[in-house]
Structure 1
């Protein structure tokens, strides 16, 4: 059997294979933050198509935590029911689900909202970005509560896991970087202080929400003086100590203009995943223009990661897992209804 189709665990959650659909913003909701018909078809199709683990897109913990006015939200109990119904359908096809709980921070572009950030440093001088308001200590306390409340709603909605979004230049990522965080209190300055908020939220989620917890990070922000892989290794080790169950390794997103943008090509982020995996014992998910079954198998064989996230490829092909199963001559991994298409 190929490694890609071996069962594996994240925390106490068993996944039928190591194929992950990473969170990808669909911008298909509205001001309500509700799941729409699009989302129901979008996620269910990947479950039918054999994906082992589906991580729902960045879902805001409050209205001003949205990236756009068309983001999903989980800021109110009224939003639980639709997710619960969708999860029941997804689970019937053997897939497990997580939801990525997120706050856009200074990258919020919702017209009637004032962005917040660790410091009053704008992501861009250009519209639709605006100058953010630097959060107070009271604001930070509230943000932590909002993350926990959103995670508790996710549990009620029958998600199998939670992913905390600390990547791509959104609020928690902004706290991590010395370029977007110039605070002079306990949440700024040293590496330990800049990591404090992510660690505090992760600790509360592990204590208060009985679900496996993943954290998505940007391993490097592509800036000479910015957040880098050694910082990410430190953070990953600290998250592991708190009981976090997996690290999802991406990169970039915190700066409009970068000093050392990598060549954006297949596997371009996998070396960062491998460096982190060498330093921790919990599973690592690799992501970043991984497009073929053989690429995923190589990453697993060579211990770059424990799970492989196929983003754009799963947008192009909801049945990617069946193509991979056919390529590896594992036809039993293809549902009976579709087997005739993969002879």
Structure 2
């Protein structure tokens, strides 16, 4: 499977830099995975495509203020840390810029000095393992000093930090937002409930590896980064009940898709489980649980567009993306949405 097969032309001006004023006023492309037919809607019309007895699965992770700006203690040089994942206690895997200054033993300070860090190891793909020192509770210190870790393709400052969080976020731990969920409002979720659609929450803490382009020519040689997920007993029960009664399971975002498929059994049920997943979903994958997917428009040659192609077919997806460019849909994190039904 060639990585280049998932490339497409994307004009830079279609990369959304800021969120819309109203979350649910983004555009919605509806793609029929069987026929390839396309409809153009707005996200507030999503209710028309959900039926009583269906199940909508949402990822309730909360994005950490994971970007820290500090300085190297011995030189005073400016440094940027991006927290990727906690390894144990106060040890974290981080990305450091500029990385060449972050050798083992290097020490750094942030803000007023209430947070300090020392590099104790080298991680994968140039990341660093650091140990933090502070007083009190780490999350409280991070809330005070950290900034929202917007993706590199967003160059404008985010005026309202909560716009990079879903309205239903709960468990802090992500390095990036589950962006398909950004389109939902509390009012829209209430309308969905009133229609008789089950709303179920799972948790997957999103790592930055999810969004990186695949750099190998043969996509099957790509190594996925592990991400931590949780499916509670009650959530698994609700999903399985819907499946048994013939309802559809609609995953909101590729993060929910990977969570469900990681915990799926061969007979199409979901196991309550907790753990790490590095599942790589690409064309040829046999979906066991989800029937439909709500997602944003993704980077060329990324694992995310490969996942979408696994569900809807590569030709259908590439055609839909061509139409999206022609119709000037907004792409990536703050962009428009697609429903694959």
TM-score (normalised: structure 1): 0.30
Larger CA Rg, structure 1 vs 2: 2
Structure with greater strand percent: 2
Structure with greater helix percent: 1
